Amino acid sequence: MNARRVRAIAFKEALQVWRDPRSLAVALLMPFMQLILLGYGVSLDIKHVPLCVYDQEMSQQSRTVVDGFLSSGWFSLARALPNEAAIRTAMNRDQCSAVLVIPADFSRRLAMTGRATVQGIFDATDVNTTNIAMGYAEGATARLASEFESKYAAAHGVEPSAVGSVDLEPSTWFNETLDSRNFIIPGVVAVILALVGAQLTSLTISREWERGTMEQLISTPVTTLELMAGKLIPYFAIGLIDAAFCLGAAIFWFKVPFRGDLFTLFVTTALFILVVLGFGYLISVRVRSQLGASQIALLVTLLPTTLLSGYTFPIDQMPAPIRAISLVVYARYYVSILRGLFLKGSGLAGLAVPFAGLCVSALVILWLAARAFHKRLD
């Protein structure tokens, strides 16, 4: 690897990005727009999610549950439903985005075992809203759970801690206030960096093929590693700028509390950027048109990253096969790291597992990217 050649390529690439409106837009405008879209999409609220209630029990206890949901301010009562069939009708007619079903034996189970479940049905047409509503419902049930728990403990004369979980719902594992914004914004940052990073480099090799400059370039003694390094360096700098922008916006604009340390944030972010750039580069090597490469980059990062990174859908609630697939969705590691850093203030040691995942992703992707390119036309 010759530093002179790497520098020549990096410099050339930087000039080209600087002079290409499309690349500049992807580099600087896209993160901003996505931040507004995704960041505000989730936090411009979405209070008072319309809720229908089908209370099969109609007891004191069940009313407490309904009140618990409504008093949270997250839900407002749309209708009380008389029977099972009414659920479908209400959903079909868009009368509500969520239905709370309280089973007929709710109080009995609660009294006997200290455990009971309520059912939540969500209109999944709007994935984003659904996720937030699900988060809200989890929060509401978690509050109720602890209420019932102390009551049960008092009634049975046991210490609350000895009762075990009165799990109306598995207690949520993120911030206590259940502020969906705090939970989702770090995920949004990860998603944006994954999208933008792959977009940036997806153009870099395909541009040379499309403009016919590649044939000249590969007739020179430049090595594939020098080419990759030279091409990634300017985008790495852009990626760091984008990351600083997104993380800064998360902390100062969206006011998500940051409890971790900056060093860990920097190291993991740099590593993640390397992974996403490497991935875009890999696509660029494989697809020889710029349009094709950028569309494929969008397709293969957008869906897996939004669906399987845990950014909105908790991974541990996915079916096992999907969970297995999510292992290769490298954004999930950065999502966990960011959540750990923001919400829990974890250090590198506490983030060992996702950090290892990120390291492995980086190794695999950069190895594949380095091997993918051949200085040949056939």
Partner 1 sequence: MSSGTPAVVVDRLTKRFDEFTAVDGITLTIGRGEVVGFIGPNGAGKSTTLRMLCGLLTPTAGQATVAGYDVAREPEKVRQNIGYMSQKFSLYGDLTVRENLRFFAGIYRVRREDLGSRMDFAIRMAGLEGREDVQVTTLAGGWKQRLALGCAILHRPPILFLDEPTSGVEPEARRRFWDLIHDLAADGVTILVSTHYMDEAEYCNRIALINQGRLIALGTPRELKGSRLGGQLVEIACAPLGKALARMSAAPGVLDAAIFGDKLHVVMAEGGLDLAGLRQALADGGIQVGEARAVRPSLEDVFVRIVTRKQDAPGAAA
Q: How far is the CB of 345 from partner 1 (least distance, A)?
A: 46
User: What 3-state class would DSSP assign to 76?
Assistant: strand
2 binds partner 1 (CB under 8 A): yes
Residue 261: CB atoms within 10 A of its CB come to: 14
| Of 355, 371, 364, nearest in space to 270 by CA | 355
157 binds partner 1 (CB under 8 A): no
Q: How far is the CB of 20 from partner 1 (least distance, A)?
A: 7
Q: Which is nearer to partner 1, 146 or 223 (CB)?
A: 223
Stretch that binds partner 1, among 2-10, 178-186, 196-204, 330-338 (CB under 8 A): 2-10
20 binds partner 1 (CB under 8 A): yes
Q: In what order do the strands lie in the sheet with 75-80?
A: 75-80, 49-55, 98-102, 119-122
Hey, CA dihedral for 99, 104, 109, 111, is it positive or negative?
Answer: positive
222 binds partner 1 (CB under 8 A): yes
Q: How far is the CB of 308 from partner 1 (least distance, A)?
A: 38
Q: How far is the CB of 201 from partner 1 (least distance, A)?
A: 18
210 binds partner 1 (CB under 8 A): no
215 binds partner 1 (CB under 8 A): yes
Label residues 200-222 b or e (16+ Cβ within 10 Å = b): bbbbbbbbbbbeeebeeebeeeb
252 binds partner 1 (CB under 8 A): no
Q: How far is the CB of 191 from partner 1 (least distance, A)?
A: 31
289: its two tokens:
């048109």
24 binds partner 1 (CB under 8 A): no
Label residues 173-187 b or e (16+ Cβ within 10 Å = b): ebbeebbbbbbbbbb
Q: Which is nearer to partner 1, 7 or 286 (CB)?
A: 7
Q: How far apart are CA 203 and CA 191, in angstroms?
A: 19
From 48, 88, 211, 323, residue interacting with partner 1 (rule: CB under 8 A): 211
User: What 3-state class would DSSP assign to 79?
Assistant: strand
121 binds partner 1 (CB under 8 A): no
Measured CA to CA in angstroms, residue 85 lies from 81, 92, 175 at distances of 9, 11, 36
Stretch that binds partner 1, among 109-117, 156-164, 348-356, 369-377 (CB under 8 A): 369-377
Stretch that binds partner 1, among 45-53, 116-124, 220-228, 323-331 (CB under 8 A): 220-228
Largest pairwise CA distance in the chain: 84
Q: Are 105 and 287 in contact (CB under 8 A)?
A: no
Q: Which is nearer to partner 1, 89 or 213 (CB)?
A: 213
15 binds partner 1 (CB under 8 A): yes
288 binds partner 1 (CB under 8 A): no
21 binds partner 1 (CB under 8 A): no
233: its two tokens:
């360096």
45 binds partner 1 (CB under 8 A): no
217 binds partner 1 (CB under 8 A): yes
Give the CB-side neighbour count of residue 307, counting CA atoms within 13 A. 12
Q: Which residues make up the interface to partner 1 (CB under 8 A)?
A: 2, 4-5, 7-9, 11-12, 15-16, 19-20, 211-223, 375-378
